[in-house]
Amino acid sequence: MGDMPIGTSAPLPEAIAEYLAACEAEGQSRATLGWKRAVLRRFAHYADSVAASDVGALTLELARRWQRHLRTAPMARPRRKPGHEGERRAAHTVNGYCRVLRAFAGWLAEAGYVDAHPLGTFRPGRLPTREVEPIAADDQQRLLDACDPRSPLGLRDLAILSVLLDTGLRSSELCRLRVADLDLASGEVRVRGGKGARDRTVALGQRARSMVDRYLQLARPWPDDPDPAADRVFLTRQRRPLTRYTLGRVLKRLAERADLANIHPHRFRHTFGVTYLRAGGDVLTLQRILGHTTLMMVNHYLHLASSDVVSRHRAHSPLDRLPNGRTFRRAARSGRRAASARIVAVKGGQLVLRTDNGDLIEIAT
């Protein structure tokens, strides 16, 4: 990489392959590498379609044209659901694609393919603010009730829901959990190879520990595969380690049983974050639990639903918490009189008011 002469031209696919090899050498996860590979292949395909298949053709203009294409062109493979024909990519998806392209362009300059960062002023675009929508407590119970504790799969699903709700783990982290990572006596769970290849420790509450222990003791099958991956905590009916795809299918099936919509693995992470803060937890500890390096992502959980903001203000309004002094009492009494009486007559410069309880009051005007 460092031996590349400055300004050397090369086909985009060749440079992309070397970039991905460099990312792998840095220890980036397989999921991250897969994401970057998919995004850059799409960019290379687009660049080739506009006769810009060489590294030297990667300019700010080309990047902006691709960005507009991503925002406006229908997806090549839209979701196969009625009403989704011509579906376009979400703003967050387009933003993610553009960030990958900008990182690749920066590496091209570092590797000597180009003289300077060709996309130094390229902006991935603003993102719309999304309110976190946690799973309501009643809906959480409906999901738990959708599991059959009399069956091995039901016990497994109960354990999965318990861990997701009690720890806020990412779906990939839950699927990678190994039996050796669990200390059910203390409730500590070692999360290995989290985002950015960072390990951390999270805690399980008493109920979650009980559900996991029941699953391990009574329902977890002995895997047939001698591969080390067979030590994974959560296995399929076929005794294979659970994957992110199969986890999504499990949650979809439970949501259908519970007659709930929009239930996916990452929503449990949102639910944990918001619930933790509502219960009085602090953002710094939440940051460590969720495995974020900065508070930027954790701040999303501070944008509670508007109804929650109103209820919290009612409980903690600074003015309402002041002592009920003379001014407040007099204003409240006058407000009640004005609001609970109406004019019924005018006599010689006086107003006659009738209160709600039938009393007449005369007031000089």
All residues at 6 or more sequence positions from 306 whose CB lies less than 8 Å from its CB, including other chains: 131
pTM over 0.85: no
Annotated active-site residue in 36, 209, 269, 270 = 269
Give the burial class of 300: count Cβ atoms within 10 A of its Cβ; 0-12 exposed, 13-18 middle, 19 or more buried.
Answer: middle
* Bridge partners of residue 178, in order along the sequence: 232
pLDDT of residue 224: 58
Q: Cite the residue boundaries of each domain of the chain with CATH code 1.10.443.10.
A: 137-311
CA 284, CA 265: separation in Å to the nearest integer?
A: 23
CA–CA–CA angle 20, 31, 236 (5° rounding): 145
pLDDT of residue 251: 96
Which token pair is 270?
Answer: 């949102």
Q: Is 198 a catalytic residue?
A: no
Instruction: Say if CB 362 and CB 352 are below 8 A apart.
Output: yes
pLDDT of residue 4: 47
Backbone angles phi, psi at 89, to 5 degrees: -70, 145
All residues at 6 or more sequence positions from 141 whose CB lies less than 8 Å from its CB, including other chains: none
Q: Is 292 a catalytic residue?
A: yes
Annotated active-site residue in 102, 170, 176, 232 = 170
CATH: 1.10.443.10, 3.40.50.2300, 3.40.50.300, 3.40.50.10330. Which one for 137-311?
1.10.443.10
Annotated active-site residue in 19, 113, 276, 301 = 301
Annotated active-site residue in 65, 71, 192, 195 = 195
Kindly report the number of other CB atoms within 10 A of residue 280's CB atom: 6
* Nearest C-alpha neighbor of 57 from the set 49, 66, 47, 65: 47
* Nearest C-alpha neighbor of 167 from the set 233, 108, 97: 233
Q: Is 81 a catalytic residue?
A: no
Beta strands in 242-349 (DSSP E): 341-347
pLDDT of residue 320: 59
Instruction: Say if CB 207 and CB 167 are below 8 A apart.
Output: no
pLDDT of residue 279: 80
CA 147, CA 142: separation in Å to the nearest integer?
A: 9
Q: Is 89 a catalytic residue?
A: no
Instruction: Say if CB 146 and CB 314 are below 8 A apart.
Output: no
Annotated active-site residue in 266, 312, 333, 336 = 266
> For each of the chain's 365 residues, which pLDDT tens digit applies?
444 444 456 889 999 999 999 999 988 888 889 999 999 999 999 999 988 888 888 999 999 999 999 988 887 654 445 444 567 888 888 999 999 999 999 999 999 898 899 998 888 877 776 666 789 999 999 999 999 999 999 999 999 999 999 999 999 899 999 999 999 999 999 998 656 557 889 999 999 999 999 999 999 877 655 565 568 999 998 888 899 999 999 999 999 999 999 999 989 998 988 888 888 777 888 888 888 877 766 766 665 533 455 555 556 556 655 565 555 455 555 544 444 555 555 555 555 666 666 666 665 54
CA 219, CA 176: separation in Å to the nearest integer?
A: 19
Annotated active-site residue in 36, 176, 270, 292 = 292
Helix (H, G, I), strand (E, B) or coil at 158: helix
CA 195, CA 257: separation in Å to the nearest integer?
A: 32
pLDDT of residue 337: 44
The alpha carbon dihedral of 206, 211, 217, 218 has a sign of: positive
